[in-house]
A and B are shown apart, each in its own frame.
Chain A
Amino acid sequence: MTPILKSDILKNGRAVTEQLERILSRYKGERGDLIPLLQEVQTRFGYLPEEAMQGVAKFLRLSESIVYGVSTFYAQFKFTPTGKHTIKVCRGTACHVRGVTRILEEVEKQLGIKPGGTTPDLEYSLESIACFGSCALSPVMVVDETVYGRMTHEKVREILKR
């Protein structure tokens, strides 16, 4: 199942409920459906949108707090949308002394978001990470699975252009 374009959801609140209806139609509405349902909702949207969780609660005749309680128990569920690409900037000591703060500022400037944030077009999420253990390459930035070492302002701009 391919996730639908997340930018559409934000622009059009209805998209969530329409998608949800289609998912719900395949379930009987039993209590045991709750976790599989939440998993399918997350596969669809990339996270659990608030209105989808409310819809699931109504469908299963459960209080919203129960649905929220169950979903926050499990590490798999996310409550904010994440971008297509995740950029992680290392905040370890070696990176710190080699000026990763200014690298992070550059990324923030380029994307217009802070660590923990996601760009409005849902292309990029930015995270800061304790230490990657690649101190010899410091300062380090990781885009999805690729590690970029010895970062400079120019390299940030270059990498983000791609």
Chain B
Amino acid sequence: MTFEEIRSRAVAEWKALEHSDKPRILIGAATCGRAAGAGVVIEAIEAELAQRNIEAVIIQVGCIGLCYAEPVVDIIKPGRPRTCYGNVTPEIAVELINDYLLKDNPRPDLALGTVGEGSIDGIPRLFDHPMLKPQVRIVLRNCGSIDPENINHYIANGGYSGLIKALSMKPGDVIEEVKKSGLRGRGGAGFPTGRKWEFCRNAPGKERYLICNADEGDPGAFMNRSLLEGDPHAVLEGMLIGAYAMGATQGYIYCRAEYPLALKRLNLALKQMEEYGLLGDNIMGSDFSFRIKIQEGAGAFVCGEETAMMASIEGRRGMPRSRPPFPAQSGLWGQPTNINNVETWGQVSAILQRGVEWFAGYGTQGSKGTKTFALAGKVNRTGLIEVPMGITLREIVYDVGGGIPGDKRFKAIQTGGPSGGVLPASLLDLPVDYESLTQAGAIMGSGGMIVTDEDTCIVDIARYFLSFTQAESCGKCVPCRLGTKQMLDILEDICNGRGKMEALDLLGGLAEDVRAGSLCALGGTAPNPVLTSLRYFRDEYEAHIKERRCPALVCQPLVSYYILPEKCEGCGICLRACPPEAIKGGKRMVHVIDQSKCIKCNVCLEVCPTRFSAVVKVSGVEIPVPEEPIPVIAESRGRD
């Protein structure tokens, strides 16, 4: 079959679906949607449709990124625009079927918005939603709209036309296109993709290899999982284009084993590509042959590093090695090898499909296009977002994310996971591009973005990320193996109230040494959370050390529980609930916590009735202990 035949068949199938006289129901059933309960919603919808004798097409789609509103269900009634509903429970799903499908009431009270042509009274357009309006969808173009298990859906929406275009060009010209687009690696470091390809193409070698890095291991990052689950072909098409441009014959996808749904969809996608002649020998009748093998990760974070990943594919311990030689010169089995991140491959297919000018129209001078982020933490609207480069952190936190819950004060935003940094409120107007973030001490990273508020302890955050990198250090080089351990010990001391001011300088010095002396990026970036927090939040470190005070009331050894005498009603609830029996007090007597017995388990604070709210957490202050038991003073306050 020629590509034209494949394409017209795919378009016909898509059109038939679009103009079907049956209603269509799209359910976000990526891993995140399933965790939020998409499974029971699907069951409820199927049962209700069967009971009401309604014929409908149910499609399990990927994630549209509105994680806070999961499970998300879209309903398309013939002749009506696609309407998106959030936080759908089995009960709401049944209501929607009865009210909308049977009675034609689209339930604007439950709808998030409509997509596509036409409108419905009382329902806004989904892409006018404050979370979606600042977004530009290049990589996530199909996520949530197509069936990721149906290659025809991808092809009907422009899929593989980028490959066909590339095949009509000289390989060197394809590289020129990618160079002109200004695309830079989306895995974190931001190396210009076209130049990386050129190195690989020009290196002498018997064979060339290409690797897709899908070993997304940063805590708090799920951009790559979402893309692989929602639109695997977007990534695979990018790999084919790269393979053709570089002259590679064998590709690998190194995907972590913790992503079973992504792995399943990748395997299925590869099979579909083979059936269509998009993989194997003489792809689409050309001289270009390429194969892709999936390699499952075995649980080592360091394998996200290029040279460690290649060692792992070769069947060895996943330890990085020094460069040069760079993978482009001598990579997998000593041959020229190119590694790009999942998102980079997804951008490549879009660039070839839609053109360089269109892509480079987004972003800034030095950082073109868009970047996906997993927005999480203390923010109202968590989710997977794709924003043009150059957007400010403030726009991401307040426009896309809808601000901080409970009117709390913004404290910091953490980008780049354990390799990134914490940035304070004074940097909220920083544009998100490679240079600005690096200058501020953070990195673009693969895209984790965690918002913190006044209740988050920055020292504790630094300790958390360092304990992660320390445990994941492969142990090959001394600065990373021992340096991160020493840094972690100092941070543990500070959080436990044993910190010394001299150690703070030692911490900063060690961080610089680990950064400069480590063999690979894991060690080289591990000090970033410490260095940025020392730079922007030194006062918090000093409060922990000088005043033995945790301003955010997070570090347990520095926190005490105290019952406010003027609020305690002597009800005895906390007294009975206290696991170590550390609370004393009789009926109608103010209860007192014996600080020597208290284990700081928080139970008293949780059980104290909110109408009293007598238990508080304090830090850095002496707790007064009354010599005589005090009777409650409720009567004098006019209660009772």
Query: Which residues of A line the B interface, CB within 8 A?
Result: 30-36, 38-39, 60, 69-70, 73-77, 92-95, 97-98, 135-136, 138
Out of A38, A39, A75, A138, name the residue touching B579 (CB < 8 Å).
Answer: A138
Closest-by-CB residue of B relative to A31 is B315
Out of A73, A77, A98, name the residue touching B318 (CB < 8 Å).
Answer: A73
Interface hits, B299-345 → A, CB 8 Å: 299-300, 312-319
Interface-lining segment among B27-35, B433-441, B446-454, B599-607: B599-607
Question: At the interface, yes or no: B298 with Cβ under 8 Å from chain A?
Answer: yes
Report the minimum CB–CB distance from A136 to chain B (whole Å): 5
Question: How many A-B contacts at CB < 8 Å in the complex?
Answer: 70
Residues in A with CB closer than 8 Å to B603 are 94, 135-136
Out of A36, A77, A97, A136, name the residue touching B599 (CB < 8 Å).
Answer: A97
- B315 near A33 with CB under 8 A, answer yes
Residues in A with CB closer than 8 Å to B319 are 73
Counting chain B residues whose Cβ lies within 8 A of the other chain, the interface size class is 20 to 34
- A70 near B601 with CB under 8 A, answer no
- A35 near B298 with CB under 8 A, answer yes
Report the minimum CB–CB distance from A34 to chain B (whole Å): 3
Known: A73-B317, A73-B318, A74-B300. A36 touches B295 (CB 8 A): yes
Residues in A with CB closer than 8 Å to B313 are 32
- B601 near A135 with CB under 8 A, answer yes
Question: At the interface, yes or no: B577 with Cβ under 8 Å from chain A?
Answer: yes
Residues in A with CB closer than 8 Å to B299 are 74-76
- A35 near B295 with CB under 8 A, answer yes
Residues in A with CB closer than 8 Å to B616 are none
Out of A32, A92, A93, A136, name the residue touching B315 (CB < 8 Å).
Answer: A32
- A75 near B300 with CB under 8 A, answer yes
Q: Tell me the complex Cα distance, A32–B577, Å.
A: 57
Out of B257, B316, B579, name the residue touching A98 (CB < 8 Å).
Answer: B579
- A94 near B580 with CB under 8 A, answer yes
Task: Report 15 cross-chain contacts, Cβ distance below 8 Å, ordered by A residue.
Answer: A31-B315, A32-B315, A35-B296, A35-B315, A39-B298, A60-B315, A73-B319, A74-B298, A77-B298, A93-B601, A95-B579, A135-B601, A136-B601, A136-B603, A138-B601
Q: Tell me the complex Cα distance, A74–B579, Å.
A: 39
Residues in B with CB closer than 8 Å to A77 are 298
Q: Tell me the complex Cα distance, A98–B603, Å.
A: 13
Residues in A with CB closer than 8 Å to B300 are 73-75
- Interface bits B602-617 vs A (CB < 8 Å: 1, else 0): 1100110000000000
Closest-by-CB residue of A relative to B579 is A94
- B298 near A136 with CB under 8 A, answer no
Q: Tell me the complex Cα distance, A135–B316, Å.
A: 43
Out of B315, B577, B602, B607, name the residue touching A70 (CB < 8 Å).
Answer: B315
Report the minimum CB–CB distance from B317 to chain A (whole Å): 4
Report the minimum CB–CB distance from B315 to chain A (whole Å): 3
Residues in A with CB closer than 8 Å to B606 are 136
Known: A36-B295, A135-B601. A70 touches B579 (CB 8 A): no
Q: Tell me the complex Cα distance, A5–B295, Å.
A: 27
Known: A39-B298, A77-B298, A98-B579. A32 touches B317 (CB 8 A): no
Report the minimum CB–CB distance from B332 to chain A (whole Å): 9
Q: Tell me the complex Cα distance, A146–B257, Å.
A: 24
- B312 near A39 with CB under 8 A, answer no
Residues in A with CB closer than 8 Å to B474 are 73
Residues in A with CB closer than 8 Å to B314 are 31-32
- Interface contacts beyond A31-B315, A73-B300: sample of 7 additional A-B pairs, CB < 8 Å, sorted by A: A30-B315, A31-B314, A36-B295, A38-B298, A76-B297, A94-B580, A98-B579
